[in-house]
Amino acid sequence: MAAAAANNNAFGGFLHTSPLSNLTSSTSHPPDPKAALASNCIRDYFGPLVQTVADALHSRGPSTMSDLIATIRHRCLRDWNEERGRLVDRLNASVVVGANNNKFNKGIIATTSSSNNNNESYYHGGKVTMNKARGAESAGYVTESSHIRAALIVLLHHSLVKVSGGTSGGGGSVGAGDGKHKHPSSSSRHAAKPQHHHYTYTFLHERARLLLRYPRYVEHARDVMNDTAAQIVECLLISGRMRGEDVVQSAWECQKRKMHNILDGEEDVDDYDNKVLTEVVQSFERLVEAGYVEMVRPIVTNKDLEHKGRMQNEENEDDMFGNEFEFSLNEDGSIFNDRSKATRKRSALSSDQGVNTKKQKIDGNALDDHHPQILSLLSTKRNLIPHGSVYRVSTAMFHASLRVDVLSRLVSEIYPDERHVGAIVKAALTYAARQEHGPMRGVDESEEARHSRMAEWGIFSPPDIVPFLPLDVTKSLRSQVGGLNQNLSTLLVQMSKLQYPTSILLEIEEAQGHPMGGKFEVCTRQLLQRMLDRIQHRFLTTHRGLVAARIVSVLQMKGHCESDAIAEDAMVPTKEAREVLHRLHRDSYIDLADMHVTKTHNTGTAIFLWDVIPSRLFKTVINNTCTALLNLRLRRQHEVEVGRDWMNRAKDAGSAEENVHEGDKKKYHAFCKGLERLDCACLQLDETLMVLKDF
């Protein structure tokens, strides 16, 4: 079926789906646009094999390793003739290195290259192997369990898969229907294992969609901090997660490379490197402190697992930290926990798939590998950056921070004649974001205390937001009679009285007589809702026209209405209103209820009422945005695929004579501009999606 889908691909040779994708190659309206977009992002960033594994996990839901492998094999493994398999084995056995066999081998090679499309056999270092997959690896056909494991580890490393479970059990619990292409020796191997831990893997497709947004995070880090912070964020995003020391090392090296290119031997390089390192450490500290980078529990390596297993006593049976591991998984999703076994197979992460995920070692010897200056600089910050702690980029904090920018701009645009309103809202929301996402240092609080603290998120007194106010605002307030806090409090009270068109602030505790100048809270939800309303209106205006947007607004305001009443309110002719209503209904923006007056169905007497269900409208807008984004990305990928030769030739424009041709150059530049436009459109859509879905 998957092969049939690939053959029906209207894109010709261009493939963008995995064998387990629920999206046919040529469709422009996927059934689940969000999942399709996530799948496409994964293929773009990690390749087709990881996409296959992600699609399998998404289609199955939470699965164990064995279920996952069985599912993938069921779709990717082809039925091969056992006789052929036997012949290949026999062939390998009879291969003799020599002059005669050279000739024979060449024949095999020739056969392989000629039948490359069928992927029937491969010649690997004098050994013939038979490809048991239905299609090419480049199309996402994967059957080897080691490859699946490697892909899963990539997903784990980038926090795209959640691991749960870990309870010990007996043998592997392969589902009844999943064992069609089960490895023949798996059951016998299970029987030999003394203890297993079963983990369930869940694909987080909402997070996969954020891969598109990584450049935005880097730019935002540059905006709110500096270039070094942006470099740190970039390093972390590329690697998924890293230890603090590695982050510093990696960012330092990148910065050094950049700076050396700029400096070109003008300055003392060592001094400059030290300066850069100090800056990297400081930026990293700021990022952690501000919550842009969050500490996560480390994925334990096999070696560490063994070490820990030896050291720990029996009370901790599952031997794991934080339910996340980097390990060699057996086919049934079990972790082998036999402590007597001295060696353990490493994960195939950096095997022939070329997946370059870093394996972290957290023992003391590994730390010694780092530059002593890094360790010395970090030693003073161990309170914030503990030894061996692992970090990743906090997407939640980045979204909160981006939301601050959007909402503060919105407020200053709504109330242009109110002084400092945008700056104050920005400061208040930044304070709230830091409260929510900032690290908790040395605080060991109870659940109740945590809940009460969470309830206080966003509530502030004037002195709380002063550090986040711009200097000119602070200066201006300080220069007035009464001082900074008093004036700020007065300004906040004034802001809380602004009601139209939307409220900005709530005065939680009265400012008058309050020792801290009152307590306030930004009406984030109302402001955000206003922004969403504007986006929906703009979306409908650009998609279906101003009249359509107005009609939706009328329905949102009045509820169920007949077309005549809608036409009157929207001030359009009834006929036009009906046409627009039907178009909106076809696009699932609005709903139609037909109420029958008589028992029998009679359209002549039925009353047709139109209505907008906000959740459905919102969902349609999001789905359309995702679909548009997916289609644009596919178009871009297709363009790149088609123009690959052209681009390669253009890269060598200096050396190859044909590229010097002016016409060719012009066409190439036009093509590149077209790609830029597609990129720009993708960025715009992602921005919209971010506000709609992630704020």
Partner 1 sequence: MPPTKRPIVTAATANGIKRRRAAGENVVRVGSGTGVGVGGAVRPAPVPSSSSFAAASASTTTATNQQLNDEFIRLLSNPQHKNKGIANSSLKSHFGSQYPALVPIINELTRTSRLTMSKLTSSKTGESEVYFSLLSVEEASKLRGLDASSKMVYQVIEAAGNKGIWTVDVRVQTNIQQATLTKIFKQLETRRLIKPIKAVTAKTKKLYMLYDLSPSKEITGGPWYSDYEFDHEFIAELRNFILMCIRRMNGGYGVGNGVTLKQIANKMIQANVSRIQLSLDEVSQVLQTLVLDYLVEQRGVTEGGGEALFVAAKPVTTMCDFEWWDVLSPDFHFRGIRFEDGVYLSAHEPHHHS
Q: How far is the CB of 126 from partner 1 (least distance, A)?
A: 36
Q: How far is the CB of 533 from partner 1 (least distance, A)?
A: 8
Q: How far apart are CA 56 and CA 394, in angstroms?
A: 26
Q: State how far the alpha carbon of 612 is from the alpha carbons of 142, 403, 552, 592, 607, in Å.
A: 46, 27, 7, 9, 17
DSSP 293: E
Q: How far is the CB of 156 from partner 1 (least distance, A)?
A: 33
Structure tokens at 498: 């602004």
Q: How far apart are CA 651 and CA 649, in angstroms?
A: 5
Q: How far apart are CA 399 and CA 210, in angstroms?
A: 11
Q: How far is the CB of 437 from partner 1 (least distance, A)?
A: 22
Residue 129 · residue 121 · CB < 8 Å:
yes
Q: How far apart are CA 307 and CA 51, in angstroms?
A: 33
Q: How far is the CB of 205 from partner 1 (least distance, A)?
A: 21
Residue 65 · residue 330 · CB < 8 Å:
yes
Q: How far apart are CA 67 and CA 73, in angstroms?
A: 10
Q: How far is the CB of 651 from partner 1 (least distance, A)?
A: 20
Nearest to 142 by CA among 54, 231, 238: 54
Q: How far apart are CA 241 and CA 236, in angstroms?
A: 6
For partner 1, the closer of residues 160 and 404 by Cβ is: 404
CA dihedral 632, 223, 380, 305 (to 10 degrees): -10
For partner 1, the closer of residues 227 and 576 by Cβ is: 576
For partner 1, the closer of residues 139 and 377 by Cβ is: 139
For partner 1, the closer of residues 169 and 545 by Cβ is: 545
Write out the residues near partner 1 by the rule CB under 8 A.
Answer: 7-13, 26, 28-29, 406, 409-410, 413-417, 499-501, 531, 534-535, 537-539, 542-543, 546, 549-550, 553-554, 557, 564, 568-574, 576, 624, 627-628, 631-632, 634-635, 638-639, 642, 670-671, 673-674, 677-678, 681, 684-685, 687-688, 690-691
Structure tokens at 623: 């789905």
State the CB neighbour count (10 A cutoff) for residue 278: 14
For partner 1, the closer of residues 269 and 670 by Cβ is: 670
Structure tokens at 674: 């077209």
Q: How far is the CB of 642 from partner 1 (least distance, A)?
A: 7
For partner 1, the closer of residues 281 and 632 by Cβ is: 632
Q: How far is the CB of 401 from partner 1 (least distance, A)?
A: 15
Q: How far is the CB of 445 from partner 1 (least distance, A)?
A: 37
- The label of the residue with tokens 């023949």 reads 184
Alpha-helical segments (H) within 99-182: 99-114, 145-157
For partner 1, the closer of residues 296 and 414 by Cβ is: 414
For partner 1, the closer of residues 390 and 628 by Cβ is: 628
For partner 1, the closer of residues 74 and 635 by Cβ is: 635
- The label of the residue with tokens 């699965």 reads 63
Residue 164 · residue 173 · CB < 8 Å:
no
For partner 1, the closer of residues 241 and 399 by Cβ is: 399
Q: How far is the CB of 47 from partner 1 (least distance, A)?
A: 22
Q: How far is the CB of 539 from partner 1 (least distance, A)?
A: 6
Q: How far apart are CA 231 and CA 235, in angstroms?
A: 6
Is the torsion defined by CA of 129, 134, 138, 143 positive or negative? negative
State the CB neighbour count (10 A cutoff) for residue 513: 8
Residue 276 · residue 296 · CB < 8 Å:
no
In one-letter notation, the amino acid at residue 366 is: A
Q: How far is the CB of 412 from partner 1 (least distance, A)?
A: 9
Rg for the chain (alpha carbons), in Å? 30
For partner 1, the closer of residues 429 and 459 by Cβ is: 429
For partner 1, the closer of residues 470 and 674 by Cβ is: 674
Residues comprising the chain, all counted: 695
For partner 1, the closer of residues 371 and 544 by Cβ is: 544
CA atoms within a 13 Å half-sphere pointing along the CA-CB vector of 613: 9
Q: How far is the CB of 592 from partner 1 (least distance, A)?
A: 20
For partner 1, the closer of residues 87 and 546 by Cβ is: 546
Burial of 678 from C-beta contacts in 10 A (0-12 / 13-18 / 19+): middle
For partner 1, the closer of residues 456 and 639 by Cβ is: 639
Residue 596, SS3 per DSSP: coil
Structure tokens at 272: 């400059």
Q: How far is the CB of 422 from partner 1 (least distance, A)?
A: 12
Q: How far is the CB of 409 from partner 1 (least distance, A)?
A: 6
Phi, psi of 293 (to 5 degrees): -120, 130
Contacts of residue 388, defined as CB under 8 A and 6 or more positions apart, other chains included, come to: 243, 244, 245, 298, 362, 367
